[in-house]
Chains A and B, each alone.
Chain A
Amino acid sequence: MTFYAQNLLGGLAYGSLLFLIAAGFTLIFGLMRVVNIAQTSFFLVGVYTGLTLLRAHVAFWLAVPMAGATVTVIGLFIYRVFLHRYHADELIALLLTLGFALMLDDGALALWGGNPESVPAPGALAASLQLGTLVFPSYWLALIGISLLIAAALRAMERRTMLGAIIRAGVDDEEMARGLGIDVDRAFYIVFAIGAFLAGAGGLLGGPITGAYPGLDGDLLPLAFAVIIIGGIGSLEGAYVGSLVIGLVSTFGKALFPELSYFTIFVPVAAIMSLRPQGLLGRKR
């Protein structure tokens, strides 16, 4: 019983972590059709920035938005100077973000060194909860809630706000939206900024689980892709469901069939891909 409870919670927590990465990824792709390979590099820079802030005795919950803001600045710089001309060209944009991923990767190594770092959970959540025979870190539980809140907020933004309306219009038919006089370009900036912010803030939020080390971005990227494949690229709900599915499948897969650890994620992905190329919740385009 403890075994299943722990893996259920562990899977949900791990999935919630994946959502922090996949959310920005899918948001940016949905509107701008830019596959931002550098999204996990943004995440890595977010963890490191957050760690630096924590070491300077900034409170955790203050450091989260600050890490997000730092990465937003980097993201907007990259977007303004390089990317914005190419968002219409999916392939060039993807290849460009690959270049920035390489540079951010090496830049982070230069700035922060290569030692594996751990990120302490915020004080109140640093301890573990005891539920009968189950011991579970409270921060992991909190992360499930945090991720759900972020998902709800993003959904509300998409459904209820003017910006959301513009995004939806842009996703459905960019040219028509432009024709109606909607400033789609401004929405692009805002969405890219939100995506970068989510990655940066998500970096510190996920930090107590992932830590920070060179190569973290490379380890996370295929997972983010798996989420997107399962959820359907560009769909926010899909990203949330996909994250939880990947989190649970991966956790239970590793717990029940540890010898297949390398394949618990990508075999289901390949299976879904061949049955439903547009993903579980994705629309056929």
Chain B
Amino acid sequence: MRRFLGGSYVVLALLLVGVGLGGVAPHGLAVGGVAVASPAASLKVGLLAPTTGVAAAPGHDMINGWKLWWAQHGDTVAGVKIDTTYYDTASNPNTALTQARRAIEQDGVQLLIGPYLANEGLAVAPYAEQHKVPLFLPTVSADDLTQRKASPYVTKVAGWSSSQTTHPAGGWAYDKGYRTAATLGNAYAFAYESVGGFAQTFTEKGGHVGKQLWTPLGTTDFSPYLSQIQAQHPDVVFVCVVGADAVHFLQQWSSFGLKGKVPLVVQETVTDQSSIRSLQPEQVLGIIAFSHYAEGRDDSATQRFVSDYATANHVLPSYMAAGFYTAAQWIQTGLQLVHGNVADQAKFLAAVRSVALSDSPFGPQRLDQYGAPVQNVYVREVRRVPDRYAAYAKTWNVVIQTYPTVSQFWTYKPSQYLAQPVYSNTFQGIAK
């Protein structure tokens, strides 16, 4: 019996520790707040990022980028202290919502920034809007959040739209002389939108898109899809996969002998630093991607950021890190414009929307009236890193061509563009 009861106490103790810690937390935070209560005002920011689950690595990149900016520039702007609380979305939209509730209802944040996954962003956006709390999206690129579902509270500050980078890719590929294309993308919205952007502009020019392959997220074996692609003999292949899938794809694209034989153009996530980091140079060198970010871009603002980030974190920054770093820059500029008056939310938001950065790691950026950035799109190529970065990476992305000031609507009229549905696996914008 003693052992029986003893066991119960073990469990109870574990639980009490858990609950106790939970109860202590708010006090601990409150004490911290009092200790630094010197600035006149503060801006309470809730940063939603996955630090557990499948997307834990991008989540950490986001937080590192954010922290780097404030570490460099001080966390008090125009008398306003930036007071950030971090919330783990666990790579799960339901958890992201619960955490957004906590941030808004319990902790009273004035601004939400994040999350990472498109589905997390889509789940949180209506909730933030309902509670009139601004939501900044430096990584969530879901087209509709700044198109058919645009809201004054939702802005892609330092962010991008999925098809923004791929619209130029279609025309580029056609001009290269490619006439038939095969596409491969992960079976989810980000890839549907990215591939759709390519398919629409490529076919409008007169190109033909053959078989479109959609692979489940978490695909380790791409060989059946690669055999399909080879059987079609396309002039060019357009690919949009993410995370571990990108690593598997690149590895197998090379080991099944397609690399160097079949022209390949990819969305930037495929060759983002976070995926090429762990691959051998010969598996990735020379691959062309369309992107809003290139860590190897020859520009002083970009290189300052890359070098500082590398020193602090011992890896070259992904676009997620760059996004949150630049979002911090954006918020700082906005705060200066309103002289630290965050009490007037409408004014602050208007100021943020009016910011035009000329020296961000992405290049020049401003927001359109829908809250999406207008920015450069780069054609970039994977090259070896210069010696100074040899300790942090093997390869990086260098810009070979720039499309300046690209809008999320590309060259279409917004009203005309918004009349077509959002790209999906059933609508790829393919011109008949």
Contacts and interface: CB of A to CB of B under 8 A. Distances in A.
Asked if A and B touch directly (CB within 8 angstroms), the answer is: yes
Interface of A: 2-3, 6-7, 10, 13-14, 106, 109, 113-118, 120, 128, 130, 135-137, 139-140, 209-211, 213-216, 219, 250-255, 258-259, 261-262
Contact of A117 (B223, B247, B257, B258): B247
B94 interface: no
B225 interface: yes
Contact-size category for B: 35 or more
A30 B166 CA distance: 52
Interface of B: 52-60, 187, 211, 213-216, 218-221, 223-228, 230-231, 243-244, 246-248, 251-252, 255-258, 274-275, 277-280
Contacts of B221: 10, 14, 209, 250-251
A116 B57 contact: yes
A73 to B, nearest CB: 25
A272 to B, nearest CB: 21
Given A3-B227, A211-B220, A215-B54, A116 B278 contact: yes
Q: Which 7 pairs of residues, A with B, have the shortest CB-CB distance?
A: A135-B257, A114-B56, A114-B57, A116-B244, A255-B224, A213-B244, A137-B255
B230 A214 contact: no
18 contacts: A3-B231, A7-B223, A10-B227, A115-B277, A115-B278, A116-B57, A116-B247, A117-B247, A118-B247, A210-B248, A214-B57, A215-B54, A250-B224, A251-B224, A258-B213, A258-B228, A261-B214, A262-B216
B225 A128 contact: no
B257 A128 contact: yes
B280 A211 contact: no
A114 B60 contact: yes
A130 B256 CA distance: 9
B54 A213 contact: yes
A215 B218 contact: yes
Given A10-B223, A210-B220, A261-B215, A255 B244 contact: no
Contacts of A13: 223
Given A258-B225, A261-B215, A118 B60 contact: no
B224 A136 contact: no
B43 to A, nearest CB: 29
A106 B51 CA distance: 11
- Among B53, B224, B247, B277, max chain A CB count under 10 A is at B224
B227 A255 contact: yes
Contacts of A120: 280
B233 to A, nearest CB: 11
B251 A118 contact: yes
A14 B220 CA distance: 9
A3 B229 CA distance: 10
A117 B244 CA distance: 7
Contact of B57 (A113, A130, A140, A211): A113
A261 B245 CA distance: 15
Contacts of B247: 116-118, 211, 213
A219 B225 contact: no
Contacts of B252: 137
A255 B216 contact: no
A22 B28 CA distance: 48
Contacts of B275: 116
A214 B223 contact: no
A118 B279 contact: yes
Contacts of A3: 227-228, 230-231
A254 B224 contact: yes
Nearest to A264: B224
A247 to B, nearest CB: 9
Given A130-B257, A258-B214, A261-B187, A106 B225 contact: no
Given A3-B230, A115-B277, A117-B278, A214 B224 contact: no
B224 A216 contact: no
A214 B243 CA distance: 10
B243 A116 contact: yes
A219 B220 contact: yes
Given A114-B60, A116-B275, 9 more contacts: A6-B226, A109-B52, A114-B56, A117-B278, A135-B256, A137-B256, A214-B54, A255-B227, A258-B224
Contacts of B248: 118, 210-211
A136 B53 contact: no
Residue from A2, A7, A118 having most chain B Cβ neighbours under 10 A: A118
Nearest to A254: B224
Contacts of A115: 57, 274, 277-278
A214 B228 contact: no
A251 B57 CA distance: 30
Nearest to B274: A115
Contacts of A139: 255
B60 A6 contact: no
B214 A259 contact: yes
Contact of A251 (B223, B246, B256, B277): B223
Contacts of A106: 52
A2 B228 CA distance: 11
Contacts of A219: 218, 220
Nearest to B250: A118
A130 B274 CA distance: 31
B256 A214 contact: no
Contacts of A117: 247, 278
A62 B227 CA distance: 34
Nearest to B257: A135
Contacts of B228: 3, 255, 258
Contacts of B214: 258-259, 261
A214 B218 CA distance: 10
Nearest to A209: B220
Contacts of A114: 54-60
Contacts of A261: 187, 214-216, 219
B53 A215 contact: yes
A253 B243 CA distance: 24
Given A109-B52, A116-B275, A130-B257, A252 B224 contact: yes
A215 B231 CA distance: 32
Nearest to B51: A114
A152 B220 CA distance: 26
A255 B211 CA distance: 12
Given A109-B56, A114-B57, A213 B243 contact: yes
Contacts of A252: 224
Contact of A116 (B52, B60, B213, B246): B246
